[in-house]
Structure 1
Amino acid sequence: MLSCSQPEKMGVIQSGEIWPDDKGVHINAHGGGILFYDDTYYWYGEHKADSTSAAMVGIMCYSSKNLSDWKNEGVVLPVEKNDTTSDLIQGCVMERPKVIYNQKTKKFVMWFHLELKGQGYTAARSAVAVSDSPTGPFKYLKSLRPNAGRLPFNMTAEQKAVFDTLDIEHFAKWWTPDWREAIKKGLFVKRDLAGGQMARDMQLFVDDDGKAYHIFSSEDNLTLHIAELSDDFLSHTGKYVRVDPAGHNEAPALFKKDGTYWLIASGCTGWDPNEARMFSAPSIWGPWTKHSNPCVGPNSELTFGGQSTFVLRLPGKKDAYIFMADMWRPKKPSDARYIWLPVQFKDGKPYVEWMDSWDLNFFD
């Protein structure tokens, strides 16, 4: 992002370029999301080191009045360097942090994907922290796998009868047609039922009625889950649905327009970009319909070289949404870049088109 002379006026957004903060350092807030509170935008994201994607510092926060001039607010949830019993010991994985504000408790609530140090991506946990201020410090509360002992609330009696017959021992070989069909029916839901469902790439969404939802890639990244959070946003109610079972989606970004819920996600190709996917539903609970790739134009088949992380709805402007994505650089994670592009609509359907540069005047 380029700096600008008028602090309340947005500068030019140039996706894929270096975006300096107020200290002239490239913004280090990857896999992030934005909270708008008290006329200020707060951008939370992963601090990436030069040579590893493990968490060596923690979760960062930047603030801005205009979405282009960003002040480094520092580390709002640091890793633990000395307490080896902590979930957040340096070298763990802390990914895709999102923060929402609870009007009832007056607390800022952060959820993120947590992997325990030395365990690769097997833990697949969700972690929650809370703060009295948008700039922290956030207090780490706990990590867990969501919805232990709970089935999707919309599972029919007929589906439950089939679910009860599933046996993981009969499906040792993955990716066969029978295995994929069993996944659709809930094979991995049953596998993880007692301990809770896997939760990796994630998103938070607060609806118009104040209810909050946790959207995450589950079942070994094969199925997205949408789970309702408690009134204080600190736990799950046990009410959840599955989206596109066996579809192999991650990096969910959810937004709402004119009563329709839209969900942009990616396929699962590690750090390499792939073609974005999009779904819509008349209710947060579905039914969810799959659409074609929302990206259009050159390199759209690879999401312009990025992966979705968030869709920001701009306050004070009608139908103004910004699609946010990360251009990962696994050989030097700290050099990962950002894609921000306006979401456009044709016949009520969202699409995202590459622009070398643009500013908020686009929405006027």
Structure 2
Amino acid sequence: MAVAPCYGTGISRRQALMGAAALPLGALPLVASPGRARAQSQAGGAATATAFRLADETRATNIKVHWQAVTGADRYEVHRACAGHPAPVRVATVTGTTLDDYALPAEQTYTYGIRALDVSGAELSTSSTNTCRTFTPGGAFASYDNTRKSSLSLRAGLEADGIYYRYDFRSDADGFSQVVEETSTDGYTFTGNTVVLSRDATPELQDSKLESVNVVKNPATGQFVMWAHYENRSDYTLAETAVAVARPGGAFTFLGHSRPLGHESRDLTFFADIDGTGYVISAARNNSDLNLYRLTPDWLAVAELSAVLFPDQHREAPALVQADGTYYLFSSEAAGWYPSQGKYASAPSTAGPWSELREIGNPATFGAQSGGIVEVGDRHAMMANRWSANWRHPEAANQQRMLPITFHDGYASYDLFETVDYDAEAGTLIPVQRGRIVSAGGPANASSLSEDGPGEDLMYEPAKANDGDHMSKENYYKSGTVPFTWEVDLRRACRVDRINITTRLVNGSETYYEYTIDASEDGRVYNALVDESANRIAGFKTHRVTDTARYRYVRLTVTRIVNIHNENTADWARGINELTVFGAS
């Protein structure tokens, strides 16, 4: 049977077979002006590829490629290989660490190779992605909306003898109140209101609060086990764990609270390894370290402190998963309620050795913090916590952002997509992006340049804000003054569908930017697209654009930068990590 060609619609068959570098304008978001790739301490050698669909298409025939920045790299060559076709195609040379490859044939399997080159063109390292298949979705999908408060409907994980259980942990002005049990026969529709644990019946739970609650089933004993962070109702000085146990359908017996082996324990998570060993990972030493504890076989007590992970790195919200034989530990910065940079490390086993902490997502985790992880079939997704009800300028309710994760050879990546389609029964996740990225690598200019550059190292130049490297907090455009304008030339007239903006965060001194975004077809007459002159949100914002006109130039005007904690002017924190324009040419 003939195999369908593997080259995309923007590349000729001759170019595909020859691996030619020449691409027609608009085929891929090529980054202009090579020589601006950011040097990092990370040493390269890993990459991921994730299939996604565009919002106005029905098939997932686009692939987002991520790779790890390489120390000393000036630029990266990206090569695509298709199963059944021996010759890889060089699809782009870029200076960032991500690339979208659009309009590929469906039902084909691809891998990507990335060559890191120094300024002379010498190869520093190579890396390759997981295999990634484009596909035509089938069946009915629900949709998770990452632009507002949304809900995710997955079958409950606690099941015994055909009955599914879930527990509602309730609190009031006096702290923890009670745990209410609900049951279901299908894992989706729950009924019941049975109190299975309460402070009235348990003196140790009076004037307390429980956070980071994990309820799991021990397959060896058949019992439901609860581990939680235990504190006084009024403060966080105890730093203890709480443990309770129940038979399915029965009341919980509270086994007590304590510091595990004498160590402080705050934010925590539970992890069951494939051999049935249970672990608790918790923030210790005033959130300076993460401690990994192995539990007794019944999961009711700590057996040993297995490791102290990432000492003095101030991580919290740990989440541990295993994928393809590799362990990945995700965490957020201990930065209060505000958005912060997520990081992760990987290891061949829980015993290590663990890699260095690596940045993931973007410096503001797309307006949230690294949180828990859910499984949908063989896919994982980060449910990043947006604690916006706790901000100085609060939103109505806390929310979550669903960020599908791709793993490969110890490397992980996730991105924000406007929506994520999912089929819980089939175990399918489909990231959905509104428009192609049309701003990456476009010529950029600004009204004000930093006094720190541009110099020979090209630090803080305008092109940093649209170079395709949106992961590192140290990679940003820095103006010399405030107010200032920054503008990108899309190189052709485009429909603008969405604009994402990530602004610099300095932990503990988060700032919000007051700004507007307008656009022009000719560089002279501008129309308003976004008005955030009253913005009070720090770190990241995403804007849906409804104007259907076509524009070549998109301009950001920042009028004020303010410390969100004291409302003082904070020009010292100025910086645009990335401004991404999505649309169509």
TM over 0.5: yes
Per-residue deviation, 1:44: 5.5
SS of structure 2 residue aligned to 1:221: coil
1:311 aligned onto 2:373: yes
1:87 aligned onto 2:218: no
Q: Which residue of 2 aligns with 1:143?
A: 257
Per-residue deviation, 1:40: 7.9
Q: Which residue of 2 aligns with 1:186?
A: none
Q: Residues of 1 paired with 2:222 and 2:170: CA distance?
A: 26
1:128 aligned onto 2:255: no
Check whether the contact 1:251–1:308 (CA below 8 A) recurs between aligned residues: yes
The one-letter code of the counterpart of 1:37 is E
Q: 1:229 to 1:64 in 2, by over 3 A?
A: same
Q: Which residue of 1 aligns with 2:157?
A: 35
The one-letter code of the counterpart of 2:222 is K
SS of structure 1 residue aligned to 2:175: coil
* CA-to-aligned-CA distance 1:296-344 (integer Å, 9 cap, x gap): xxxx311122223322234xx33x1121232112267982212223212
* CA-to-aligned-CA distance 1:159-209 (integer Å, 9 cap, x gap): xxxxxxxxxxxxxxxxxxxxxxxxxxxxxxxxxxxxx00111001011110
Check whether the contact 2:231–2:238 (CA below 8 A) recurs between aligned residues: yes
Per-residue deviation, 1:259: 1.6
Q: Which residue of 2 aligns with 1:104?
A: 220
The one-letter code of the counterpart of 1:14 is D
The one-letter code of the counterpart of 1:131 is A
Q: Which residue of 2 aligns with 1:285?
A: 351
Q: Which residue of 2 aligns with 1:327?
A: 386
Q: 1:115 to 1:63 in 2, by over 3 A?
A: same
Deviates more, 1:304-313 or 1:282-291: 304-313
Q: 1:131 to 1:308 in 2, by over 3 A?
A: farther
SS of structure 1 residue aligned to 2:265: coil
Check whether the contact 1:93–1:114 (CA below 8 A) recurs between aligned residues: yes
Q: Residues of 2 paired with 1:354 and 1:289: CA distance?
A: 25
SS of structure 2 residue aligned to 1:87: helix
SS of structure 1 residue aligned to 2:142: coil
Select the residue among 337, 340, 347 that pairs with 2:399.
337
Check whether the contact 2:373–2:382 (CA below 8 A) recurs between aligned residues: yes
The one-letter code of the counterpart of 2:345 is F
Check whether the contact 2:268–2:280 (CA below 8 A) recurs between aligned residues: yes
Q: 1:101 to 1:82 in 2, by over 3 A?
A: closer
Q: Residues of 1 paired with 2:315 and 2:339: CA distance?
A: 13
Select the residue among 96, 115, 119 that pairs with 2:231.
115
Q: Residues of 1 paired with 2:253 and 2:201: CA distance?
A: 17
Q: Residues of 2 paired with 1:243 and 1:79: CA distance?
A: 35
Check whether the contact 1:114–1:124 (CA below 8 A) recurs between aligned residues: yes
Map 1:62-73 onto structure 2 (within 5 A).
71=190
Check whether the contact 1:95–1:112 (CA below 8 A) recurs between aligned residues: yes
Q: 1:74 to 1:250 in 2, by over 3 A?
A: farther
Higher relative contact order (CA 8 A, sep 6+): 1
Map 1:211-222 onto structure 2 (within 5 A).
211-222=277-288
Q: Which residue of 1 aligns with 2:440?
A: none
The one-letter code of the counterpart of 1:140 is F
Q: Residues of 1 paired with 2:368 and 2:192: CA distance?
A: 26
Q: Which has the higher helix share?
A: 1
Q: 1:80 to 1:123 in 2, by over 3 A?
A: same
Q: Residues of 1 paired with 2:164 and 2:146: CA distance?
A: 19
Per-residue deviation, 1:355: 1.9
Q: Residues of 2 paired with 1:107 and 1:78: CA distance?
A: 15
Q: Which residue of 2 aligns with 1:163?
A: none
Q: Which residue of 2 aligns with 1:233?
A: 299
SS of structure 2 residue aligned to 1:13: strand
Q: Which residue of 1 aligns with 2:148?
A: 17
Q: Residues of 2 paired with 1:231 and 1:217: CA distance?
A: 23
Identity %: 28
Q: Residues of 1 paired with 2:179 and 2:148: CA distance?
A: 22
Check whether the contact 2:179–2:195 (CA below 8 A) recurs between aligned residues: yes
Per-residue deviation, 1:290: 2.2
Check whether the contact 1:62–1:71 (CA below 8 A) recurs between aligned residues: yes
Q: Residues of 2 paired with 1:252 and 1:36: CA distance?
A: 21
Check whether the contact 1:55–1:79 (CA below 8 A) recurs between aligned residues: no
Could you tell me which runs of 5 or more consecutive residues in structure 2 were left unpaired when the two chains were aligned.
Answer: 1-138, 431-585
The one-letter code of the counterpart of 1:245 is P
Q: State which structure, 1 or 2, has the greater radius of gyration over its C-alpha atoms.
A: 2
* CA-to-aligned-CA distance 1:24-65 (integer Å, 9 cap, x gap): xxxxxxxxxx7353688766675466xx7x734445667789
RMSD (Å), alpha carbons: 3.4
Q: Residues of 2 paired with 1:338 and 1:211: CA distance?
A: 30
Q: 1:16 to 1:227 in 2, by over 3 A?
A: farther
Select the residue among 332, 336, 347 that pairs with 1:266.
332
Select the residue among 296, 301, 314 that pairs with 2:363.
301
The one-letter code of the counterpart of 1:324 is M
Q: 1:61 to 1:200 in 2, by over 3 A?
A: farther
The one-letter code of the counterpart of 2:214 is K
Q: 1:128 to 1:266 in 2, by over 3 A?
A: same
Q: 1:77 to 1:289 in 2, by over 3 A?
A: farther
* CA-to-aligned-CA distance 1:138-158 (integer Å, 9 cap, x gap): 2221111112xxxxxxxxxxx
Q: Residues of 2 paired with 1:139 and 1:21: CA distance?
A: 30
Q: Residues of 1 paired with 2:164 and 2:201: CA distance?
A: 33
Check whether the contact 2:269–2:319 (CA below 8 A) recurs between aligned residues: yes
The one-letter code of the counterpart of 1:321 is H
The one-letter code of the counterpart of 2:294 is E
Q: How many residues align?
A: 282
Per-residue deviation, 1:78: 4.7
Map 1:244-259 onto structure 2 (within 5 A).
244-259=310-325
Q: 1:21 to 1:353 in 2, by over 3 A?
A: closer
Q: Residues of 1 paired with 2:396 and 2:224: CA distance?
A: 27
